[in-house]
Amino acid sequence: MDDRLAPLAVPGAVIDAVLAHAAAAAPREACGLLIGDRDGVRRAVPARNLARSPTRYEIAPEDHFAAIRAARAAALEVIGAYHSHPGGPAEPSPTDRAAAFDGFVFVIAAPAPAPHLRAWALVDGNFAERPLVRT
């Protein structure tokens, strides 16, 4: 199996925190970074969304660098990013595809009607879903 499509372990507290951030940011998109290792996500770090559009996100560079430093201090790394789709499904949009790159995990939160997360990886130029396993 391609490691990019292996199940992604995510602690329940991280899932709950990302969903809470998504709900609090609505109707704008929430965004943040995922810190972990090859075994999965360990923490989610909320970031400021600098995008002026309510349907886009742009992680503040200072927040990104702070997450990198925090990850390194814990002998981990930034393995991905998350953002929300307040009015849509937890599926990558054409805008998400245009900004995506290989080797990163992309988690999308849909806060309503039933709050949930889905994880994605870019494989051969297309998004493929990664099973998300709550730990």
Q: Are strands 77-84 and 40-47 parallel, antiparallel or unpaired?
A: unpaired
With a pLDDT cut of 70, the percent of the chain lying above it is 99
In angstroms, rounded to a whole number, what is the distance separating the alpha carbons of residues 8 and 5?
8
Q: Rounded to 5 degrees, what are φ and ψ at 69?
A: -65, -45
Domain membership of residue 120 as a residue range: 3-134
- pLDDT, tens digit, for every residue of 31-86? 999 999 988 999 999 999 999 888 899 999 999 999 999 999 999 999 999 999 99
- Per the structure, the count of domains in the chain is 1
- Give DSSP secondary structure letters for 17-76: HHHHHHHHHTTSPPEEEEEEETTEEEEEEEE-B--SSTT---B-HHHHHHHHHHHHHTT-
CATH number at residue 78: 3.40.140.10
pTM equals 0.95
